[in-house]
A and B are shown apart, each in its own frame.
Chain A
């Protein structure tokens, strides 16, 4: 470390009164400056039925396989000769019309896994079906390019694997004020005040103290940023919208957070799918609409990319309970206003040439999507993070 850098860091550190200076080594980059790219990842948990989300309303196989649950041609919001949106996705159709939405069809991977847990693991770690990785793909991004837990925030009570790295983890919070209060317990502050940094080392106890210190400073930093801004839009009143509302507040505050992670649960529609999925898609679309508007209003939409995925799609053929079982390849949404190919990125795979389980075959590997985001959006070395090189796509 040269002298200038050292001085810069110690001045910074002194403002955070009890934090040992040497672990406060973050760059003095202003996040509010233009071009600070952020990524928002949304997981539709449970396995969203992509075929009833983006409807192939011209496809006889679709209607033949789903006599009771298919979305009728007249109901679908048509956007091409072949495909249309679910009727409750009108807000998404608006984004589509404005050129803010790219839909990538048939995203998946070889030998797809149909267990929620395992498939979520695969998506979150960016592994193959045969690999068990213990760090998330964003966690590994943090390992190489992150400095502080708040560089990646999950809007939840606990942290998912996706944000866990080998050396650094993201941080989770549903409510920055609560997180802050927890971290500010006077007893902990006293313990840290008395703590002598020369004992900090890489061994386990040192690691605990370090984590405690960075948790405290992260919680404080997040809350301070959170306080400074407000939302410009009215959001729907539900948990998912609230996650996005919190994310928007943080993004608009200029926080140095590269990645946000949110999720909407309940897509495991084995029975009575039509109503439950419709309700969830409405929640999704309306919340996203408010979120995008909020960002646009405050000028942060240009630098935000929103990715929505689900751990798997669902079987083409409906089941006896008017639902669908776990499937494989699925569509994925990219939202932003720097898109290279708005609209449909590729064609929907065949509904007659299915895999052995009767599921859609993938044509785009999800790690190609990750690689593209890492390389083209976050401008980092994708192959080092994904442990392999995947062909890039041209959506951003």
Chain B
């Protein structure tokens, strides 16, 4: 497989690839590489944080100790921060690359936000478990998740007083897209989800007295449907496969939809709603590797951060620095802006986020300084002394250049750019880079990461 194609595949199916792995993988055929990718993700390692200090909280315990609930909430919110950091670290280190990338994708599809650490954790792992599974099972699982029941008010959805919020978003955002259902469909299907509820631990419960067991008419079918039946009927609409494939295409291939390709994916997906099969088809197709699809997507803040940390491992000394960066860049995991999720693409970029993105590699890796040393210039030891002395104010990090040096040992300085930059460098920028001294791989790495081109994958 061509090195460039491997890089492309690993950026879209993951967060980039390191030189040593790139070398080995490039020797293999496309089929072998894609197989390898799926094999590595055949397992699903749950993401959990230590909650032992609040593990005695349960439905029964809460009933007797209502006054301790505020304390639980407080600790829970702290745990969420730890969970956020653990998730980001997971993205950097996991071997289940594709599964993690898909989990991130689904987290912005089945968008949800909650503050109860058990429920958040359970929800996140449901995304992870189903990430490459059957889409129908996935939607059904989501409809019964405690965090989702709360987020879209399905807990308040009762026979006597239906709440349509979940039913509406189920069709508008999760399965069919706007305009492919009627208000009547929403009303009827909302009744099928009445009585859905959960306990403190996050287990699903059907409250029978609140569930509407009567006939519902939905998409021309009639029956005593419950939520699962409704989801089965939705899956029978080809529009559902089309809607999901459109999102997959935009996320993994190109912001600009190619109707023909999406229809091609739709035909595959509609057969069995098997996500793994769909993704395999996508990564095996020739058009995925067309130049027009390579290096043209703007990295999300998380892709940007995780990719950087894969190239140069970094340990943040303070948890709060990890949030600060996510917040300023406009993507804080577990904190989506609303049920429609992050818009992505150009919307990641405004004057402020772009300036920060360009500046961040040097802030994290080089005390905010990007070397300007030109070719043939002598190294100024005083400069070096000064930059080493300078206190890093914005973030407090430990940078692991050793791993970088090991990974890039056999890489020629001039080849760094093909490894770090996916799109074609603009001619002027290329010319400028050639004027700079390339005596230090580390300096050159920071320079490359500070280019607009590094924002693309």
Contacts and interface: CB of A to CB of B under 8 A. Distances in A.
B337 A161 contact: yes
Contacts of B349: 207-208, 211
B453 A205 contact: yes
A158 B428 CA distance: 30
A195 B351 contact: no
Given A158-B353, A171-B351, A208-B354, A121 B338 contact: yes
A172 B352 contact: yes
B432 interface: yes
Interface in B419-457: 423, 426-429, 431-432, 447, 450-453, 455-456
A194 B455 contact: no
B269 to A, nearest CB: 25
A215 B255 contact: no
A205 B452 contact: yes
Contacts of B327: 158
B328 interface: yes
Contact of A121 (B337, B351, B354, B455): B337
A161 B453 CA distance: 25
Contacts of B456: 204-205, 208
A104 interface: no
Nearest to A157: B328
Given A121-B338, A132-B340, A187-B370, A211 B426 contact: no
A194 B451 CA distance: 12
Contacts of B452: 191, 205, 208-209, 212
B165 to A, nearest CB: 10
A182 interface: yes
B358 interface: yes
Contacts of A159: 350-353
Given A187-B372, A196-B426, A204-B297, A211 B350 contact: yes
Contact of A196 (B343, B428, B447, B455): B428
B47 interface: no
A119 to B, nearest CB: 10
B146 to A, nearest CB: 17
B22 interface: no
Given A196-B428, A205-B452, A212 B358 contact: yes
A261 to B, nearest CB: 13
B432 A194 contact: yes
Given A134-B347, A211-B351, A185 B428 contact: no
Interface in A160-177: 161, 164, 169-173
Contacts of A204: 255, 296-298, 345-346, 456
B233 interface: no
B291 to A, nearest CB: 13
Interface centre among B168, B297, B432 (most CB of A within 10 A): B432
A186 interface: yes
B410 to A, nearest CB: 27
Given A117-B338, A182-B359, A190-B432, A196 B351 contact: no
A195 B451 CA distance: 11
B432 A191 contact: yes
Contacts, number: 115
A205 B358 contact: no
A3 interface: no
B382 to A, nearest CB: 18
| Interface magnitude class on chain A | 35 or more
Contact of A134 (B297, B340, B451): B340
A219 B351 CA distance: 9
B227 interface: no
Given A158-B330, A161-B337, A187-B370, A195 B429 contact: yes
Given A185-B370, A205-B423, A132 B339 contact: yes
Given A121-B338, A196-B426, A199-B426, A183 B298 contact: no
Contacts of B337: 117, 121, 161
B355 interface: yes
A218 B122 CA distance: 45
Contacts of A172: 350-352
Contact of A208 (B347, B352, B427, B455): B455
Given A132-B340, A203-B296, A218 B426 contact: no
Nearest to A171: B351
B346 A207 contact: yes
B354 A215 contact: yes
A214 interface: yes
A134 B341 CA distance: 10
A24 to B, nearest CB: 16
Contacts of A208: 298, 349, 354, 452, 455-456
Interface in A360-387: none
Contacts of B346: 204, 207
Nearest to A321: B70
Contacts of A170: 350
A46 B297 CA distance: 36
Given A195-B428, A195-B429, A208-B452, A164 B350 contact: yes
Interface centre among B346, B347, B450, B451 (most CB of A within 10 A): B346
A1 B453 CA distance: 32
A105 B416 CA distance: 62
Interface string A246-259: 00000000000000
A26 interface: no
Contacts of A219: 351, 355
A199 B427 contact: yes
Contacts of A209: 426, 452
Interface string B282-298: 00000000000000111
B451 A191 contact: yes
A149 B455 contact: no
A196 to B, nearest CB: 5
Interface string A213-238: 01100110000000000000000000
Interface in B163-189: 168
A211 B357 CA distance: 12
A158 B426 contact: no
A94 interface: no
A106 B447 CA distance: 55
A196 B354 contact: no
A212 B453 CA distance: 12
A118 interface: yes
Interface in A64-85: none
Q: Report, nearest first, the 8 A-B pairs whose CB atoms are least far apart.
A: A215-B351, A194-B428, A169-B350, A194-B432, A208-B452, A187-B370, A132-B340, A171-B351
12 contacts: A134-B347, A159-B352, A173-B352, A188-B358, A194-B428, A195-B426, A204-B346, A205-B296, A208-B452, A209-B452, A212-B452, A214-B351
Given A121-B337, A171-B352, A188-B450, 20 more contacts: A117-B113, A117-B337, A121-B338, A130-B168, A149-B350, A158-B353, A159-B351, A161-B337, A164-B350, A179-B355, A187-B450, A188-B358, A195-B426, A195-B428, A196-B426, A204-B297, A207-B298, A208-B452, A209-B426, A215-B354
